[in-house]
Structures are given as C-alpha cells and as structure tokens.
C-alpha cells in the first residue's frame, strides 16, 4: 500500500497511550486538526531528535488548534519512559504489530526498520499533509506546521 495521499480520508483507528487509555482518531479530530507522526523506536537518536523538535515547537501546534500524536510499535512502558525522559507534552500511542502504520501506508526502511511518516489530518479525517523522510527529522515538524498554517 502506498503512503496515504493528500485529499484521502485517514483510516480510523483506536490505540492505547502510554497510560493505557484508548484514543480514537475520529474522536481526536472532533477537536481540530491532528498531527499524527509515525516513528521507528523510542529513545533512539533520530526518534529522540524528532520528538524533541515536536516538543520544542509544541506551542505552535497548539496555537494552530492542533493536537500532536506520536505512534510507534513500542509498548506503553517504553512510551512512558521516553515521554518522561524528554518532557514530551503530547500523546504517544502503541501500535503493536504496526497495523495502523500499514493502514497509513508507512513503509519500512530497507524492508526491515519501522517507517517514519507524518500526516496532518483535518476535522473530517481528510489528509492535508502526507510526508515521509527517514533522515530529515526536523522536516516532519516544519512540513506539519506549514500544512496547519494553510488550513487556517
């Protein structure tokens, strides 16, 4: 499956956060745009750089009325530790088996490593940004903010 395209409807999903609470995409979207970013693994160098950039620019996201949600296949306890260690103010969801990542078309790097992609999804679950880069972590944040500003 190809990466979800801009203009397509994001598949609805329900995943658990770092505390075990369930979050459904369609419910999150009722409150405004949602930035969903898929990343390979908690507390690895690239994923930490990306998460900390989302953290550092978090006020820009909330100022645009958006929520940020990070998703990886890591378990809740790994998410809790990662979130606490880096003071991440946003929700981290566990996608065991990467079924949600696959439904968004997030490709594995070299067919082995979990993929990295960012989506901006509007209130109607329409994809407004579909971006993937395995090497430019900060571009995920910059692209998402640009897409959010275009929605305003």
Closest CA to 131 of 114, 113, 151, 106: 106
Spell out the residues 6+ positions from residue 4 whose beta carbon is closer than 8 angstroms to its own: 10, 104, 105, 119, 127, 130
3-state DSSP of 36-71:
EEECCCCCCHHHHHHHHHHHHCHHHHHHCCCEEEEE
Q: Which residues are catalytic?
A: 47
């Amino acid at each position: 499956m190809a990466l979800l395209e801009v203009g397509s409807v994001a598949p609805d999903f329900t995943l658990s956060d770092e505390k075990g609470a369930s979050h459904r995409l369609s419910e999150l979207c009722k409150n405004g745009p949602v930035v969903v970013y898929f990343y390979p693994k908690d507390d690895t160098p690239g994923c930490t750089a990306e998460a900390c950039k989302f953290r550092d620019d978090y006020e820009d996201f909330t100022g645009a009325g958006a929520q940020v949600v990070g998703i990886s296949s890591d378990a809740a306890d790994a998410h809790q530790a990662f979130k606490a260690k880096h003071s991440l103010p946003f929700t981290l969801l566990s996608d065991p088996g990467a079924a949600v990542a696959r439904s968004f078309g997030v490709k594995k790097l070299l067919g082995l490593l979990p993929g990295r992609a960012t989506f901006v999804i509007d209130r109607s679950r329409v994809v407004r940004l579909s971006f993937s880069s395995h090497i430019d972590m900060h571009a995920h944040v910059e692209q998402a903010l640009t897409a959010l500003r275009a929605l305003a």
